[in-house]
Amino acid sequence: TAEDHRPAGKVPIYEYRGGKFTLVEQVDVKGRWPEKWNKDWLGW
């Protein structure tokens, strides 16, 4: 459809160390690459 149904434009990056997952960073994909978000990454 023409509507964007993706849940979020932010992707959490985790590191697994010592038996635990730790949040390292959240990348705002939609904000950082808006032109790719709208066209190239549709449906990912």
* Cβ contact 22:12 at 8 Å: no
* Cβ contact 26:13 at 8 Å: yes
CA–CA distance, 39 with 41 (Å, rounded to integer) = 6
3 belongs to a structural domain: no
Give residue-wise pLDDT tens across range 12-35.
899 999 999 999 999 888 888 888
35 belongs to a structural domain: yes
* Cβ contact 7:19 at 8 Å: no
19 belongs to a structural domain: yes
Count of domains forming the chain: 1
18 belongs to a structural domain: yes
28 belongs to a structural domain: yes
* Predicted TM-score of the model (pTM): 0.56
Instruction: Please give the residue range of the domain that contains residue 43.
Output: 8-44
Question: Please, what is the Cα angle at 9 between 36 and 23, to 5 degrees?
Answer: 125
Per-residue confidence at 36, pLDDT binned at 50, 70, 90? confident
2 belongs to a structural domain: no
Q: Which two three-digit tokens encode residue 14?
A: 């985790």
